[in-house]
Structure 1
């Protein structure tokens, strides 16, 4: 019996972390599309995904218009995560927590705020506070002891809040210290209390196999980050991920890249004086439907009906 299966959760009223743990307990690879705002989250939910991933790079670019160089603040990340997590609370959200945004006290507060916001799980990394996207060059990592201090602070925050939020230990040290040190860091993070591990920027089959074999047969969930278009991301399919025993597959750019390509193309056409209807016949009404129009109108009608009945009964 796995760590997740051994934990008792009621079918009704599961916490966000409980719902994520329930999905992980199935043993199937959980495919998580990267979303970064309400619109991308709505589209992913409409497509039927069981779990969403909030990409920090996407939040940084969509919310503050800045590249992912550690500029998005804790508040901006928590606010966005809370909004996404509560569009459909039944669908768990895994969120990027970067470095925890400061000292151990900052990490503790970040985890508390993610728990309050309804986040189901998050990953915490070992880059320096002035971090950068994991698939960019020039990364720097903190010492192992400082990294474990962050993980320990997250574990203590979860414990004190009585939460079951899933803690994912990420290391970017593959690029800076090599595979051996990266695996050592992940194993140490698990000893401190992390539930899952995340080796960032796996670029070869050999690295992926060594990573998966290190944790195969244990209670630890392994995660692979599939950044489309990045040469630092070793490409595998979800079916291949199950073969490797990977528990989670993240696709952080699956919404971001098509949005960039499509919007850029439309703007260039407009700049050139040409605006055409979408070739697939998309309309504003369809977009409103994806973004909850029926539910909003149903609620409005139910309240209006109640008011009319109340007024009729109290004339």
Structure 2
């Protein structure tokens, strides 16, 4: 009933333990992107390892492009609403940290207070853009390292995971981009990053090169319509990846269904033809635990199953 009973601290410890186990077992933790709190509960119900909160999804939910327009307040509030709904660890996209290193420090503490298990901070310039678009620019190495140091030093819970994302691969062509990504990944780990997110890798060999260069977990972004192929978890595990996110997948599925539904209603004048594809009322009530609220206080009438 209400929210998950697992504490934020316990989620963080479980996240770190799971990452360590994934490394020893050669498997990948799967984090689908939740587009609202209810979808986070469904992610847990289906047996996934964690929940991802995508900056692209948060901005799209507000009707905005993913170019750094969202604020720390908006991200912390929405990601906190999602994180509290599940006992799974939640990792959130914190963009460039919403400002200079001091802002990055505040960002980490706000996200800790919101109940997140970790966040990733990237090395793009402000305003940033989606990691799989062309024309990205990254800050110099020292600025990127200052962001990560600020994030690592600011956390009060040592189990809060600070992940460093680097977009340098997409800012340089050919082998130069890959060499820069590997070198920057190593430097970010030395600065205190607990994990590395190499954005816009082109193939499995590139993931393997990064994973082989660092001694911390590496994350793969399996976003549709991007620079990377949509590899299986087995392929990623064999390349040394230990965590995979599907950031916008559920939102794209949902919005595709919404668009088709609106077209059906407009054309037919009724939603009758859509009912078989809908989540049933009984399944919705199961997910939001209507029965639990009845049990909590029988004097409050909610519904009769």
TM-score by length of 1: 0.85
* Distance (whole Å) between structure 2 residues aligned to residue 118 and residue 225 of structure 1: 23
**In the alignment, does 2:153 pair up with 1:172?**
no
1:280 Cα deviation (Å)?
4.2
> 2:143 matched to which residue of 1?
146
1:206-259 deviations in Å (ceiling 9; x for gaps)? 3223222223xx2x10111000232x0232111222212211011112201101
Structure 1 unaligned residues grouped into runs of 5+: 1-10, 305-315
* Distance (whole Å) between structure 2 residues aligned to residue 265 and residue 13 of structure 1: 38
> 2:47 matched to which residue of 1?
48
Contact between 1:212 and 1:246, CA under 8 Å: does it hold in 2?
Answer: yes
1:99-125 deviations in Å (ceiling 9; x for gaps)? 000011110000001111111111110
Contact between 1:196 and 1:223, CA under 8 Å: does it hold in 2?
Answer: yes
> 1:137 matched to which residue of 2?
134
1:46 Cα deviation (Å)?
2.1
TM-score by length of 2: 0.88
**In the alignment, does 2:246 pair up with 1:251?**
yes
Structure with the greater alpha carbon radius of gyration? 1
> 2:289 matched to which residue of 1?
292
* Distance (whole Å) between structure 2 residues aligned to residue 175 and residue 50 of structure 1: 28
Contact between 1:60 and 1:72, CA under 8 Å: does it hold in 2?
Answer: yes
**In the alignment, does 2:226 pair up with 1:227?**
no
Q: Out of 100, 110, 118, which is 2:107 matched to?
A: 110
* Distance (whole Å) between structure 1 residues aligned to residue 8 and residue 31 of structure 2: 22
* Distance (whole Å) between structure 1 residues aligned to residue 167 and residue 82 of structure 2: 26
Q: Out of 5, 13, 20, which is 1:18 matched to?
A: 13
* Distance (whole Å) between structure 1 residues aligned to residue 74 and residue 31 of structure 2: 21
Contact between 1:36 and 1:56, CA under 8 Å: does it hold in 2?
Answer: no
* Distance (whole Å) between structure 2 residues aligned to residue 13 and residue 291 of structure 1: 21
> 1:71 matched to which residue of 2?
69
1:12 Cα deviation (Å)?
9.6
**In the alignment, does 2:71 pair up with 1:81?**
no
Contact between 1:115 and 1:163, CA under 8 Å: does it hold in 2?
Answer: no
1:294 Cα deviation (Å)?
2.6
1:117-149 deviations in Å (ceiling 9; x for gaps)? 111111110011211111112211111111111
Give runs of ≥4 in structure 1 deviating > 6 Å.
none
Contact between 1:37 and 1:59, CA under 8 Å: does it hold in 2?
Answer: no
1:13 Cα deviation (Å)?
8.9
Structure 2 unaligned residues grouped into runs of 5+: 1-5, 301-305
* Distance (whole Å) between structure 1 residues aligned to residue 188 and residue 199 of structure 2: 15
Decide whether aligned partners of structure 1 residues 12 and 258 sit closer, same or farther in structure 2, where only a CA change above 3 A counts.
Answer: closer
| Count of residues paired in the alignment | 286
* Distance (whole Å) between structure 2 residues aligned to residue 109 and residue 29 of structure 1: 31
Superposed, 1:204-243 pairs within 5 Å as 204-215=203-214, 218=215, 220-230=216-226, 232-243=227-238
Question: The residue matched to 2:249 in structure 1 has which SS?
Answer: coil
* Distance (whole Å) between structure 2 residues aligned to residue 286 and residue 237 of structure 1: 29
